[in-house]
Chains A and B, each alone.
Chain A
Amino acid sequence: MDSAALIPAFRAGDRRALSRLLTYAERGDDAFPALYDELAPGRGHAMRLGITGPPGAGKSTFVSALVTARRAAGERVAVLAIDPTSPFTGGALLGDRIRMQEHVLDAGVFVRSMATRGSLGGLSRASLEASDLLDVFGFPHVVIETVGVGQVEHDIIEAADLVTVVLSPGAGDGVQALKAGLMEIADVFVINKADLPGADQVAIDLREMLALRSQRHGDEIPVVRCSSIDGQGTNEAIDAIDRRWRTLQHDGRLAARRHERSVAQVRRLVEQALRERLFGSDEDLEQSLSSSDLARPYAACDMLLDRFDAQTSHSRVSPTPKRNEPR
């Protein structure tokens, strides 16, 4: 399918066009900025739910249970499942589909696996653009599942409207994972594997920590116990998520979050484009720097910036300037 045919096919509901556009987003294809800008004004209809939490907490299993419940209510769901890229080889094993097999042949469900490709905050570089595409395609629910995260990876708030943090008992002190970042981004907590011993203790610890937060925000963060493997507690979790969603909608925080997200997106695009324009590639940078430059890093920085100012390129983001362009 050539890129000119993608938008009409996408608008007509062709899943292959959606899939190919996701590929374009991921690889930063030259054709993508123009295609995306044509579709992006149509975003903002889906509930974008971020699912995050430590590795092995049961995020994929919870997502699968969530998809089952949404489908039972007749609602279509798209899932963006993110797994880590190896920093050594650039490869990735994307295994989230294993837990979602039962939904593969359901035309109301679309699952796409993405690798982080060097991004460190739990998402992949194009997660936001990819979830925008799923939103514009017409899925009323877009679920974004991050890689298993530790304490500080909270990029999910840059792509989701609201965030569910999934924890499980038996993973040491569950609250370890919540010292800072994760603790503050949760709209709903799910304690998964609630059939295992220790779930009550995790819930108690969590509520104690949340009590401090609630006083500050005047805002109740629900804690729901779940056993996703047999679907127990999923409906309660969904109720909590939907209630939270309505609260955010009514008090204006949803609109504020979306606005912030759009601003952050433009900032990120500018940063990416500038970085490419400044450096081209690591080899270009290395070639620009003599050993005397390297001895005085701040002076080298000024030198590069001066040279960048002097060349004041007229090229635009769309299409992306070629790497290794003569400067």
Chain B
Amino acid sequence: MRTDPIRVLVAKPGLDGHDRGAKVVAAALRDRGMEVVYTGLHQTPAQIAEAALQEDVDVVGLSIHSGAHMTLFPEIKRLLDANGMGDVLLVGGGIIPEEDAAQLEAQGFGKLFGPGSRTDEIADYIEAELDRRPAK
């Protein structure tokens, strides 16, 4: 089992300014003993992928409320893969219809958490997923 803290990048891709959810999740993951890098609003996919590389995170958490997730999320995944960061656990949250979530999960995304998700559930999921993965 790993002894060093899980490192998570929490990012807001796209143009919406609703970062309350991202901040609540960031604080909850911190309280679970994770190191959370928060990048602020209005990130492009390229900025998110580069920040993930520089911070060498285990997890990238994306929060989105603008409806552009089917454009932005796959692009972020593509850039992470191109950076050699394909083993990063990608999770997301916000307003994401179920059929979109299923499609993203089929593309290699981890779980996508909709409204009403409990922060415990998100932290549990991340811990369990990373326990299953080989150490980097």
- Which A positions have Cβ atoms within 8 angstroms of B? 1, 15-16, 19-20, 22-23, 26-27, 85-86, 89-95, 97-98, 101, 104-105, 110-113, 115, 117
What are 13 pairs between A and B in contact, CB < 8 Å? A16-B53, A19-B53, A19-B56, A26-B4, A27-B3, A90-B5, A93-B38, A97-B51, A98-B38, A98-B40, A105-B44, A112-B55, A113-B37
Min C-beta distance of B82 to chain A, whole Å: 11
Evaluate contact between A97 and B40: CB separation under 8 angstroms: yes
Q: Which residue of B lies closest to A112 (CB)?
A: B54
- Which of chain A's residues have a CB closer than 8 A to the CB of B4? 26-27
**Which residues of B are found within 8 Å of A111, using beta-carbon distances?**
51, 54
Query: Chain A contacts of B136 at CB under 8 A?
Result: 20, 23
Contact across chains for B38 and A16 when beta carbons are under 8 A apart: no
B122 at the binding interface (Cβ < 8 Å): no
The majority secondary structure among interface residues of chain B is mixed
B52 to chain A, nearest CB (A): 9
One digit per residue, 1 when the CB lies within 8 angstroms of any chain A CB and 0 when it does not, for chain B 23-46 equals: 000110111111111111001101
Q: Which residues of A contact B103 (CB under 8 A)?
A: none
B98 interfacial contact with A, CB 8 Å = no
In the complex where A1-B84, A20-B136 touch, is A104 in contact with B30 (Cβ < 8 A)? no
- Judge if B50 is at the interface, Cβ distance under 8 Å: yes
**Closest chain A CB from B110 CB (angstroms):** 20
CB distance from B33 to the nearest CB of A (A): 4
Known interface pairs A23-B136, A93-B26, A113-B55; A16-B36 also in contact (CB < 8 Å): no
Query: In the complex, what residues of B have CB within 8 A of residue A22's CB?
Result: 56
Closest to B11 in A: A97
Question: Are A110 and B54 neighbours in the complex by a CB distance under 8 Å?
Answer: yes
Collect the chain B residues with CB atoms within 8 Å of residue A86's CB: 30-31
Question: With the chains together, A90 CA to B3 CA distance in Å?
Answer: 11
User: Is A94 a contact of B35 with CB atoms below 8 Å?
Assistant: yes
Tell me the complex Cα distance, A97–B54, Å: 11
B119 close to chain A: CB less than 8 A = no
The answer to whether A89 and B33 have CB atoms under 8 Å apart is yes
Query: Using Cβ atoms and an 8 Å threshold, which residues of chain A touch B43?
Result: 101
Interface contacts beyond A85-B35, A93-B27, A98-B38: sample of 18 additional A-B pairs, CB < 8 Å, sorted by A: A16-B84, A19-B56, A20-B56, A20-B136, A22-B56, A23-B136, A89-B30, A89-B31, A89-B33, A90-B5, A91-B31, A92-B36, A93-B26, A94-B35, A95-B37, A95-B38, A97-B37, A105-B44
- A30 to chain B minimum Cβ distance, whole angstroms, is 11
- Distance of A1 Cα from B51 Cα, bound (Å): 18
Q: Does B72 contact A (CB under 8 A)?
A: no
Do B32 and A91 touch (CB < 8 A)? yes
A94 touches B29 (CB 8 A): no
For the complex, give the distance between the alpha carbons of A105 and B46 in Å: 7
B44 partner residues in chain A, CB cutoff 8 A: 105
With a 10 A CB-CB cut-off, give which of B3, B31, B55 has the most chain A CB atoms. B55
Q: Give A109's nearest chain B residue, CB to CB.
A: B54
Shortest distance from the beta carbon of A284 to any chain B beta carbon, whole Å:
15
